[in-house]
């Protein structure tokens, strides 16, 4: 009987960054969740939603030869560039097929960072405890000396190591942590045994445009000035509460003829071909937003920034500059 990959286990939000009792912590990678099955020379590589990822990542097919038969893994596909995780490169790779995918595999190879073992030598391991699955996963990597594209996700039960990851690894694109109960089994589509903590910080930025009505903007398009005095786009806010939208509207001044974003087009989101309808404003209002550590290679915030408050008490010169993150 053919074995079928289960749906991936899901995570719930963790209340904070502290390692809970009787849990292990793993890094939360900025990549694509993926499940892999290798069985009698048949390779399956699919996304969390069930999309076939194999045509976009042919190097995984080549690397499958290292795997023992009847093996299945849960993990994250990532791409590194210039010493940090590059999600936008991963996004580009997802659209490639054939010769294009092969070219990207040579220039920007992916890694499959394995964090769970779903099947071993034909045995379904999802009913094993996390600790037992983790021991078996480490044994799999050691016994077969697995190399790229395979990578073993770190795991620790040491609170000091967890704190070190949060203080040092975020610089290369670590999104946060996943806490897993040592006794938890792998339950498809279930939440509870795994919890994620995403690193978020507050940042100041300049409002350059908004979407929605003038009386109550829906979202804000944010920027920072670079060393050459150019206003660089860094990201868009989440939807503003109505009261906040009305309040910020009174602080925005319509743009003049020399706005630095005149003629620009802004995408509605990752992978979307839809352009936003925006209204430009005089880039003088500073706002404070909450962001996570995920960046694209241009330094922009990859996820929407959560609205905190307006900062009319700050000058544009008080906002960190685009390149260095230091005050301009």
- Which DSSP string corresponds to 269-315? STT--PBP--EEB-TT-EEEEEEES-B-TTS-BSSPBEEEEE-TTS-
Contact 5, 50 (CB under 8 A): no
- What are residue 323's phi and psi, to 5 degrees? -80, -50
Paired strand residues for 321: none
Choose, from 28, 180, 196, 198, the residue flagged as catalytic: 28
Q: For 169, phi and psi rounded to 5 degrees?
A: -80, -15
Distance of alpha carbon 10 from the chain centroid: 15
* CB-based contact 181:210 (threshold 8 Å): no
The answer to whether 180 is a known catalytic residue is: no
Residues 6+ apart with CB under 8 A from 26: 115, 153, 154, 155, 156, 177, 178, 180
Comparing CA positions, the residue from 7, 293, 22, 85 lying closest to residue 177 is 293
Residues serving a catalytic function are 28
């Amino acid at each position: 009987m053919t074995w079928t990959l289960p749906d991936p286990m899901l995570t719930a939000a963790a209340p904070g960054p502290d390692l809970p009792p009787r849990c292990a912590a793993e890094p939360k990678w900025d990549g694509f969740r993926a499940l892999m099955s290798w069985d009698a020379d048949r390779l399956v590589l699919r996304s969390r939603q069930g999309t076939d990822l194999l045509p976009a990542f042919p190097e995984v097919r080549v690397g499958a030869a290292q795997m023992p038969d009847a093996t299945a893994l849960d993990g994250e596909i990532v791409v590194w560039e210039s010493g940090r995780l590059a999600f936008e490169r991963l996004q580009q790779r997802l659209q490639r097929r054939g010769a294009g995918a092969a070219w990207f595999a040579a220039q920007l190879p992916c890694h499959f960072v394995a964090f769970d073992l779903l099947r071993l030598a034909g045995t379904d391991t999802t009913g094993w405890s996390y600790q037992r699955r983790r021991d078996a996963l480490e044994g799999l990597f050691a016994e077969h000396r697995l190399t790229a594209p395979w990578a073993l996700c770190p795991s620790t039960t040491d609170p000091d190591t967890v704190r070190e990851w949060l203080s040092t690894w975020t610089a290369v694109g670590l999104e946060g942590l996943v806490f897993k109960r040592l006794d938890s089994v792998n339950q498809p589509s279930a939440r509870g045994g795994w919890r994620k903590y995403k690193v978020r910080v507050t940042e100041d930025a300049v409002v350059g445009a908004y979407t929605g009505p003038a009386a109550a903007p829906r979202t804000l398009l944010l920027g920072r000035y670079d060393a050459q005095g150019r206003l660089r786009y860094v990201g868009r806010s989440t939807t503003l509460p109505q009261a906040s939208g009305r309040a910020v509207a009174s602080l925005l001044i319509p743009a003049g003829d020399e706005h630095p974003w005149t003629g620009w087009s802004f995408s509605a989101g990752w992978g979307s071909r839809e352009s936003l309808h925006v209204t430009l404003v005089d880039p003088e209002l500073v706002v404070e937003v909450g962001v996570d550590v995920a960046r694209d290679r241009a330094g922009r915030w990859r996820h929407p920034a959560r609205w905190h408050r307006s900062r009319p008490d700050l000058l544009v010169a008080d906002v960190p500059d685009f390149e260095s993150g230091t005050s301009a």
